[in-house]
Amino acid sequence: MNIELVDICKSFATPEGSVRVFKNLDLTINSGEFVSILGPNGCGKTTLFNLIIGLDKEYSGYVKLDHISDRKTIIAYMMQKDLLLPWKTVYQNILIGLDIQSKVNSDTKAHVTQYLERFGILNLIDSYPSKLSGGERQKVALIRTLMLDSEIMLLDEPFSAIDYNTRLELQAQIHLLAKENNKTILLITHDIDEAITVSDRAIIFKNKPNGIFKDLEITFDVQKRSPISVKQDPKFAAYFSEIWQSLSKQDER
């Protein structure tokens, strides 16, 4: 399913007056694409997600999602913080979204178990979040998002607060899952490595009131894309340099 944002203008009221975040922003994300969004702090990356999912409705222009009236059933949103409910076990936390959408059925437990096994945390199924490490919490939050089985996934810096090894593991998993299930994924990240590793496309935002500074297609000639294999590809350094320069140029302004 395509996501199309047309002529989006968005401002925030602040005590110092109105701050414009987007001015005539046009953006199209094609079905099945994995797109990373990079840009300076405060350039409107999270605001973009809120517009796409419909949490923020105060804007002009329009977000076209093939005329879907209830966007929330086809979009899953994973926020920066894991936001696990401390009074629920891992299993119960994973079910929250499904429970709200009344999608829990007889296959749910088996499905959750598969994901937990895949992410290596099946032994934690009945644990409370207070017993989990940062990486384990993030894995649970990711499974909670994946369980919604939405066509579109919005990931807002989901791996920023976890250790390097776990991050590489999750990057590999999320890329694989996206391709296996033909998901459309938008990932906000500050990590250029991460953006190159998992994405088909990297979009670099300008400082506000912004638009798109660079829209870069990322392809690798490797059979099985993984955080290790792409780093060994000569193209990796070239992509890194291009994205780095795009971001640095904005800092200089």
Partner 1 sequence: MKRKALNIFLGLLPLIAFLLLWEFVIATTSKKMFLFSSPSLIYHSLVENFQNGILPNDIWVTGQEALYGFVIGNIVGAFIGLSLWYSKRIANLTRPYIIAIGAIPIFSIAPMMIIWFGTGMYAKVMLAAISTVTIAITQSYEGARHVDIQQIKLFQSFGASRTQIFSKLIVPSSLVWLFNSLKLNISFALLGAFIAEYISAEEGLGHRIFKAGGTYDVALVWASVICIVLLAFLFSGVIFLFEKTLLKWK
* Contact set with partner 1 (CB under 8 A): 53, 55, 70, 72-73, 75-77, 79, 81, 83, 85-88, 96-97, 99-101, 128-130, 148
Q: What is the distance between the alpha carbons of residues 103 and 105, in angstroms, rounded to a whole number?
A: 6
Q: Smallest distance from the beta carbon of 67 to partner 1, in angstroms?
A: 17
Report the residue number, 88 or 179, with the smaller CB distance to partner 1. Answer: 88
CB atoms within 10 A of CB 99: 12
Q: What is the distance between the alpha carbons of residues 48 and 8, in angstroms, rounded to a whole number?
A: 10
Q: Smallest distance from the beta carbon of 148 to partner 1, in angstroms?
A: 8
Q: Smallest distance from the beta carbon of 100 to partner 1, in angstroms?
A: 4
Q: Smallest distance from the beta carbon of 229 to partner 1, in angstroms?
A: 33
Strand partners, 201: 35, 217
Q: What is the distance between the alpha carbons of residues 78 and 88, in angstroms, rounded to a whole number?
A: 18
Report the residue number, 54 or 209, with the smaller CB distance to partner 1. Answer: 54
Report the residue number, 92 or 250, with the smaller CB distance to partner 1. Answer: 92
Q: Smallest distance from the beta carbon of 69 to partner 1, in angstroms?
A: 12
**How far from chain centre, in Å, is Cα 213?**
19
Largest Cα–Cα distance of the chain, in whole Å?
A: 56
Report the residue number, 141 or 162, with the smaller CB distance to partner 1. Answer: 141
Strand partners, 12: 19
Strand partners, 205: 212
Report the residue number, 88 or 214, with the smaller CB distance to partner 1. Answer: 88
Q: What is the distance between the alpha carbons of residues 72 and 81, in angstroms, rounded to a whole number?
A: 19
CB atoms within 10 A of CB 56: 15
